[in-house]
């Protein structure tokens, strides 16, 4: 397994930033050169613009020809580490395999691959069994469908267009192996396992992060490692689960960081963040915002861990959500919960820039904290360009998460790259990618509203240092680093 550079990564849709894979490559090798060590290209499979923005592929092993080819993926990998999604839990209801089941029912060779209610509960499910199932959206995870002329309850964790697969079957593993092979053959060296926590459905459990989930995850890890790839798990849940999972896999997300930073900036309170720094895993991918919403379940109490407190108290979470809605002038409220058809129980749909009230100073401070913390910092394309909530797209689609999925024109990208807050982020990312201190030891100190985050490496008689001093009371900060034998300020609040 190759070592993955821990420099910043860009996370983006190919069509919504560059337009397609070749133009995305031109962008990261041109105006964004030197800022990113890797690129996480969100689903570019056929079709990339389905019901769930590519997370419902009809053909997971084929690049959508409107975006490019596997050769284009391989070309991007010549200059950057490429991460791609392996959608483990489900496939599109329009996929050829499932459509064969729709036509032929149990006579289809693919019938065992797809989960129905009776797959997990062959003797029937009680009310208690059904009520126990964990789902990120309201209602039960089943959709009535006709398979081979017979009405069945098909397991659909997310939407009726995304049919869950049964990882107990050889058909499922034949399918998943073909996906991993297609990606790694094209030079993809990082695999993100999407929704893997929902794969281990077992009677008598909540069907989330079960013992079977761990077994399936390990099997995918073995597949990936045999092909030289590293694996990132995408799990939303109680923060203690993330800590535990991190001990057994290559990488996890630090989904607790965004809400903790927003709490620190809105409430002028660093204590919850300090507590997290004491226990957070360092084999983490850090984010501010992503193609999904800003996670709340990751910092609160959870039914998944009854009786265990979260990193924030319930009243702090309530205040945080209201702060985000107020800071965004109410636009996030229109995109979140029952206001939007894409109803996620654990997320606020908002760009991070809007979540801090479009305050360049506080936004840049949050980005600097992310970049300085241990882990691989991943920067979402809308966040890179300090984008605002796209209310026109939300109105057009009615999908809450689309508020943070703007389609940038080349002119909009050029205009955004000229903004001081964007230029300052890029300067900080280039420092994060290239400065030797980030290969050394990390330390942190928190005192009230102030904090110092530092890296230091002594090598060949030279001490390399990077330090961020900050105060969330007034969002003042100074990023300092050693350079050319001296030490100076790289960025402070005057940059914006």
Residues recognised as catalytic: 194, 234
For the annotated binding site, the residues are 52, 90, 192-194, 234, 291-292, 344-347, 401
Q: Are 366 and 260 in contact (CB under 8 A)?
A: no
For the annotated binding site for substrate, the residues are 52, 90, 192-194, 234, 291-292, 344-347, 401
Two structure tokens written together for 486: 């001296």
Write the Ramachandran bin of 203: left for phi over 0, alpha for psi from -120 to 50, otherwise beta.
beta
213-222 long-range contacts, Cβ below 8 Å, gap at least 24?
214/248, 216/88, 216/167, 217/193, 217/248, 217/249, 218/248, 219/173, 220/86, 220/88, 220/176, 220/180, 220/191, 220/193, 220/196, 221/249, 221/250
Query: CA 80 from chain center: how many Å?
Result: 19
């Amino acid at each position: 397994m190759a070592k993955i550079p821990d420099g910043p990564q860009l996370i983006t849709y190919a069509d919504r930033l560059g337009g397609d894979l070749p133009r995305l490559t031109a962008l990261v090798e041109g105006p964004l050169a030197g800022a990113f060590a890797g690129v996480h290209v969100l689903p570019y499979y056929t079709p990339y613009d389905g019901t769930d923005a590519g997370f419902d592929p009809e053909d997971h092993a084929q690049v959508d020809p409107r975006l490019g080819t596997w050769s284009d993926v391989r070309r991007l990998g010549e200059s950057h580490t490429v991460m791609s999604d392996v959608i483990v839990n489900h496939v599109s209801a329009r996929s050829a395999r499932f459509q064969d089941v729709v036509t032929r029912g149990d006579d289809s060779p693919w019938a065992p691959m797809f989960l129905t209610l009776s797959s997990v509960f062959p003797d029937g499910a009680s009310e208690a069994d059904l009520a126990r199932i964990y789902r990120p959206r309201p209602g039960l995870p089943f959709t009535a469908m006709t398979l081979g002329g017979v009405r069945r309850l098909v397991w659909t964790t997310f939407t009726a267009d995304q049919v869950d697969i049964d990882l107990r079957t050889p058909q499922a593993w034949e399918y998943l192996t073909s996906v991993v092979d297609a990606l790694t053959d094209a030079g993809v060296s990082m695999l993100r396992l999407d929704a893997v926590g929902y794969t281990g459905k077992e009677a008598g459990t909540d069907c989330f992060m079960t013992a079977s989930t761990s077994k399936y995850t390990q099997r995918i890890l073995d597949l990936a490692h045999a092909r030289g790839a590293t694996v990132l798990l995408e799990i939303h849940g109680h923060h203690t689960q993330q800590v535990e999972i991190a001990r057994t896999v290559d990488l996890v997300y630090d989904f607790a960081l965004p809400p903790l930073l927003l709490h620190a900036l809105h409430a002028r309170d660093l204590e919850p963040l300090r507590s997290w720094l004491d226990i957070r895993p360092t084999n983490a991918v850090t984010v501010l915002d992503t193609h999904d919403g800003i996670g709340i379940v990751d910092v609160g109490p959870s039914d998944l861990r009854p009786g265990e407190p979260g990193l924030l108290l319930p009243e702090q979470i309530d205040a945080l959500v209201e702060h985000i809605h107020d800071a965004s002038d109410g636009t996030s409220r229109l995109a979140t919960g029952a206001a939007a058809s894409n109803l996620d129980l654990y997320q606020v749909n908002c760009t991070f820039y809007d979540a801090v009230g479009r305050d360049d100073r506080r936004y840049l401070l949050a980005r600097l904290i992310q970049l300085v913390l241990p882990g691989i910092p991943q920067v979402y394309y809308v966040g890179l360009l300090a984008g605002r909530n796209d209310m026109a797209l939300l109105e057009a689609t009615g999908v809450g998460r689309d508020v943070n999925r703007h389609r940038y024109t080349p002119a909009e990208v050029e205009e955004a790259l000229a903004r001081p807050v964007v230029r300052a982020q890029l300067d900080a990312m280039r420092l994060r990618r290239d400065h030797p201190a980030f290969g050394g030891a990390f330390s942190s100190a928190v005192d009230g509203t102030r904090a110092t985050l530092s890296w230091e490496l002594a090598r060949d008689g030279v001490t390399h240092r990077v330090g961020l001093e900050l105060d969330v009371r007034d969002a003042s900060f100074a990023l300092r680093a050693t350079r050319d034998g001296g030490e100076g300020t790289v960025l402070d609040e005057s940059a914006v």
